[in-house]
Amino acid sequence: MHEFMTNSTSISEPEIRYRRIRRIAGVMTVVCSLLALLLLPCMIAVWSFVEHIPRMPLPAKLLHNLSLTDRIGAIAISMLAAGLAAWGLVSLAQLFARFRQGDVFDLRATILLRRFALSVLLLPVAQAVVEASTTAWLSRNTAPGEGVITISLSSDGILFFVIGVLLMTVAWVFHDAAAIAEDNRMIV
């Protein structure tokens, strides 16, 4: 086994790797938690200044003269997708927290990975629902026949879906492998 010398102590290679995992996992736990926490303020900021945001995926005529009720409703609807993303990010933060504790391939970690994969998988669907609901909400007071409902699926959404499916498959394999490893640990 390789050994590395530091100032006054020698640290084994596995210990160096473990410390590196702990350091990276610790950073990622904080980053994922912060991202999850920032989603609500971001939604509020977006709907507060939506008129000034270029290339919003909504019909421009719906975004003029929005009332406070319109904005609050739109934020609430947007939270469906943002909440799903936050759930995925919180699962990822918990996963990294487990990595930090040294539980890399245990059953709980694979369940958390599966939750994150599920959130990635469902995000494009949630976005499509949010978009349709938001346009319906914002056009509710328009004259009869002028109401708008936009339903779209972007190439980004399809990519997210495909990545989600792949992640789900990987998480499923890890879960079964972790179950087998756990079973083996129970045999002395």
Partner 1 sequence: MRIVVTLDVMLARRKMRGKELAAAIGISEQNLSLLRSGKVKGVRFSTLQRICAVLDCQPGDLLAYEPGLEES
**Residues in touch with partner 1 (CB under 8 A):** 183, 186-188
Q: Which is nearer to partner 1, 143 or 188 (CB)?
A: 188
**Which residues face 4 on adjacent strands?**
11
**How buried is residue 25: exposed, middle or buried, by Cβ count under 10 Å (0-12/13-18/19+)?**
buried
- Least distance in angstroms from the C-beta of 30 to partner 1: 33
- Least distance in angstroms from the C-beta of 184 to partner 1: 9
**How buried is residue 76: exposed, middle or buried, by Cβ count under 10 Å (0-12/13-18/19+)?**
middle
- Least distance in angstroms from the C-beta of 183 to partner 1: 6
- Least distance in angstroms from the C-beta of 188 to partner 1: 5
Token pair in block for residue 83: 């909440």
Contact between 54 and 85 (Cβ < 8 Å): no
Q: Which is nearer to partner 1, 60 or 187 (CB)?
A: 187
Phi, psi torsion values for 10, nearest 5 degrees: -100, 135
Q: Which is nearer to partner 1, 37 or 103 (CB)?
A: 103
Q: Which is nearer to partner 1, 156 or 182 (CB)?
A: 182
